[in-house]
Structure 1
Amino acid sequence: MARARAKDAEGPTTQATLALDRAGVTFTRHPYDHDPSAPSFGLEAAEALGLDPATVFKTLLVDTGRGLAVGIVPVGGELDLKAVAAALGVKSVLMADPAAAERSTGYVVGGISPVGQKRPLPTVLDETAYAHETVYVSGGRRGFDLGLSPTDLASVTRAVRAPIGRPRR
């Protein structure tokens, strides 16, 4: 699929698409039929869109003890809490309370985009993203992903690059 400005493609307008437009970032929109009973929203997106799961990334929020932060990792793996804590320069992190994640980002769990959150949060992007020309992240609602370059994703979210993912146990 050719890359296109959001206005030229199908899919909803969300805070994420608005933020990417404001930043002048080229991206593609990828809506799909979401199944609320899917056990993994990220793997569901990869399958529904016919994408390699290594290119589809999930947005996970952690609590640093000083506030929330974001980890972006491939949907087929898990977030390494020790690695994300090290990347953020804190002693440890815990997974954020889902209600706190929703309040902080303005998105619902399963549709939390790393882009266009209500408040910018410290963000870490797994280094494996840089092996791909295009990565896919939530577009701000369930059943909607965005494709963009990992460097643009890192730039717009002010993410640091670190090895924060690990294989699913």
Structure 2
Amino acid sequence: MARHRAGAGPATPATVALDRAGVPYARHPYAHDPAALSYGMEAARSLGVDPARVFKTLLVDTGNSLAVGVVPVDGQLDLKALASALQVKSVTMADPSTAERSSGYVVGGISPVGQKRALPTVLDETAYAHPTIFVSGGRRGFDIELAPGDLAAVTRAVRARIGRA
């Protein structure tokens, strides 16, 4: 994949982090509808991409800290599987305002890349079935496309089955 094209979407902490790391990616801006019920499914439809290739970033609370799960938008996060991958007893979904403060992004635009604080991250193993996947680029209406291995490397993600249909 070629490096991003200048001017093809906003500069965000995610794109800055990818540029600094030398990770190839593509920018995919789209018109965000504030009435959309699912940000990830909106991205898949707007970009004309199979929802299995579009991944959402979810923050969870381990009881002691926060962590990140990255799963396909057409499925759900399996909290027990994520807790197991993180080697903790259990996890709950993080409060949206806590997720926003920790990541530096707004809900619906939380990217796994370029967060204010690096958090333990788990990438669903289904990502590796695709040469590239899409994740939020750090704003609603803006996704980035990159190889799953590159996403895992830049976020230091663990690979595990944490999603379910």
Instruction: Report the TM-score range of the alignment, normalised by the length of the smaller protein.
Output: over 0.9
Aligned partners of 1:96 and 1:6: how far apart in 2? 32
| Pairs within 5 Å for 1:22-61 | 22-61=20-59
Letter aligned with residue 142 of structure 1:
R
CA distance in structure 2 between the aligned counterparts of 1:7 and 1:28, rounded to whole angstroms: 7
CA RMSD of aligned residues (A): 0.8
Runs of 4+ with deviation above 4 angstroms:
none
* Structure 2 unmatched runs, 5+: none
Q: Is the 8 A contact 1:6 1:17 kept in 2?
A: no
Equivalent pairs, count: 165
Cα distance in 2 for partners of 1:164, 1:109 equals 20
SS of the equivalent of 1:11 reads coil
Note if contact 1:32-1:143 (Cα within 8 Å) is conserved in structure 2: yes
**Aligned-partner Cα distance in 2 for 1:7–1:32:** 15
Unaligned residue ranges in structure 1 (runs of 5+): none
TM-score, normalised by the number of residues in structure 2:
0.98
For residue 140 of structure 2, what is the aligned residue in structure 1? 142
Say if 2:5 and 2:26, in contact at 8 Å, map to a contact too.
no
Measure, in 1, the Cα distance between the counterparts of 2:106 and 2:142.
12
Report if the CA contact (8 A) 1:98-1:109 is conserved. yes
| 1:73 partner letter | V
1:16 aligns to what? 14
The AA in structure 2 aligned to 1:97 is: D
| 3-state secondary structure, aligned to 1:110 | coil
Q: Which residue of 2 aligns with 1:68?
A: 66
Distance 1:151 1:88 in 2: 19
Contact 1:30 1:147 in 2 (8 A): yes
Match of 2:159 among 145, 158, 161: 161
Partner Cα distance (1:18, 1:4) in 2: 16
Deviation by residue 1:96-138 (Cα, 9 ceiling, x = unmatched): 0000000000000000000000010000000000000000000
Q: CA deviation at 1:7?
A: 4.7
Measure the CA separation in 1 of the matches of 2:59 and 2:92. Answer: 9
CA distance in 2, matches of 1:147, 1:50: 13
TM-score, structure 1 normalization = 0.96
